Amino acid sequence: DKAGHKHFMSKEIAEQPTVLQGALSHYISPNADAVTLPESGIDFAKIERMTMVACGTAYYACMVAKYWFEQVARMPVEIDVASEFRYREPPVTAGTAALFVSQSGETADTLAALRYMKGKADTILSIVNVETSTIARESDLALPILAGAEIGVASTKAFTCQLTTLAILAIEAARARDHLTDAEVSENLSRLRALPGVINLALGIEDKCKTIARQLAEARDILFLGRGAMYPLAHEGALKLKEISYIHAEAYASGELKHGPIALVDENVPIIVMAPRDSLFEKTVSNMQEVMARGGKVLLITDKQGAAEAGDGVWDTIIMPEIDAFLAPILYAVPAQLLAYHTAIAKGTDVDQPRNLAKSVTVE
Ligand code: F6R
39 band by pLDDT with thresholds 50, 70 and 90 = confident
pLDDT at 359: 87
pTM more than 0.95: yes
Q: What pLDDT is recorded for position 38?
A: 86
> b/e for 12-49, b at 16 or more Cβ within 10 A?
bbbbbbebbbebbeebbeeebebbeeeeeebebeebee
Q: How distant is the alpha carbon of residue 157 from its chain centre?
A: 10
Shortest-distance Cα residue to atom 11 of ligand 1: 56
Q: What is the pLDDT of residue 355?
A: 85
Q: Work out which ligand 1 atom sits closest to the CA atom of 110.
A: 16
Q: How many CB atoms lie under 10 A from the CB of residue 282?
A: 11
Q: Which of 12, 103, 233 to mutate to test the pocket of ligand 1 (most atoms within 8 A of CB)?
A: 103
Residue 353 pLDDT: 87
The percentage of residues in the chain with a pLDDT greater than 90, rounded to a whole number, is 93
Question: What residue's CA is closest to ligand 1, atom 16?
Answer: 102
156 lines ligand 1 (CB under 6 A): no
Residue % of the chain over a pLDDT of 70: 100
Q: How far apart are CA 192 and CA 174, in angstroms?
A: 15
Instruction: Give the lowest-confidence range in 7-16, 68-77, 88-97, 348-357.
Output: 348-357
Residue pLDDT, tens place only, 70-126: 999 999 999 999 999 999 999 999 999 999 999 999 999 999 999 999 999 999 999
Q: How far, in Å, is the centroid of ligand 1 from the Cα of 147?
A: 14
Judge whether 24 and 34 are in contact, CB under 8 Å.
Answer: no
pLDDT computed for residue 9 by the predictor: 97
Q: How close is the Cα of 306 to the center of ligand 1, in Å? A: 32
162 lines ligand 1 (CB under 6 A): no
Ligand 1 atom having least distance to the Cα of 158:
14
The preferred substitution site among 155, 233, 355, 356 for testing ligand 1, maximizing ligand atoms within 8 Å of CB, is 155
> Does residue 68 surpass a pLDDT of 90?
yes
| pLDDT number for residue 212 | 98
Task: Give the tens place of pLDDT for each residue, 220-259.
Answer: 999 999 999 999 999 999 999 999 999 999 999 999 999 9
pLDDT at 67 over 90: yes
The predicted-structure confidence for 129-150, as pLDDT tens digits, reads as follows 999 999 999 999 999 999 999 9
Please give the mean pLDDT across all residues of the chain.
96
Ligand 1 neighbourhood includes 12 CB (under 6 angstroms): no
Q: What is the pLDDT of residue 231?
A: 98
Per-residue pLDDT, 302: 98
Which of 55-69, 261-275, 306-320, 346-360 is the least confident region?
346-360
Residue 350 has pLDDT above 90, yes or no: no
Q: Which of 13, 101, 104, 235 to mutate to test the pocket of ligand 1 (most atoms within 8 A of CB)?
A: 104
Label residue 192 by pLDDT band (50, 70, 90). very high
Residue nearest to atom 5 of ligand 1 (CA): 56
Backbone angles phi, psi at 313, to 5 degrees: 105, -15
Q: What is the 3-state secondary structure (H, E, C) of the chain?
A: CCCCCCCHHHHHHHCHHHHHHHHHHHHECCCCCCECCCCCCCCHHHCCEEEEEECHHHHHHHHHHHHHHHHHCCCCEEEEEHHHHHHHCCCCCCCEEEEEEECCCCCHHHHHHHHHHCCCCCEEEEEECCCCCHHHHCCCEEEECCCCCCCCCCCCHHHHHHHHHHHHHHHHHHHHCCCCCHHHHHHHHHHHHCHHHHHHHHHHHHHHHHHHHHHHCCCCEEEEEECCCHHHHHHHHHHHHHHHHCCEEEEEEHHHHHHCHHHHCCCCCEEEEECCCCCCHHHHHHHHHHHHCCCCEEEEEEEHHHHHHHCCCCCEEEEECCCCHHHHHHHCHHHHHHHHHHHHHHHCCCCCCCCCCCCCCCCC
Best substitution site from 13, 62, 83, 107 to test ligand 1's pocket, by max atoms within 8 Å of Cβ? Answer: 107
Residue 326: pLDDT over 90: yes
Nearest Cα neighbor of 8 from 112, 141, 158 is 158
Ligand 1 centroid vs 349 CA: distance in angstroms?
Answer: 19
Going from the Cα of 137 to the center of ligand 1, the distance in angstroms, rounded, reads 19
Please tell me if the CB atom of residue 58 comes closer than 6 angstroms to any atom of ligand 1. yes
Mean pLDDT for 31-36 is 96
Report residue 360's pLDDT band, with 50, 70 and 90 as the boundaries.
confident
pLDDT of 332 strictly over 90: yes
Ligand 1 centroid to Cα of residue 38, in Å, is 26
Measured in angstroms, how far is the CA atom of residue 57 from the centroid of ligand 1? 5
From the CA of 156, give the closest atom in ligand 1.
7
Q: Would the pLDDT of 40 be above 90?
A: no
* Four-residue CA torsion sign, 127, 128, 132, 138: negative
Q: How far is the CA of 105 from the centre of ligand 1 (A)?
A: 10
Could you tell me the strand order of the sheet in which 297-303 lies?
248-253, 221-226, 270-274, 297-303, 316-320
Question: Measured between alpha carbons, how far is 274 from 163 in angstroms, rounded to an integer?
Answer: 17
Parallel, antiparallel or unpaired: strands 49-54 and 270-274: unpaired
The residues carrying an active-site annotation are 359
Contact 221, 247 (CB under 8 A): yes
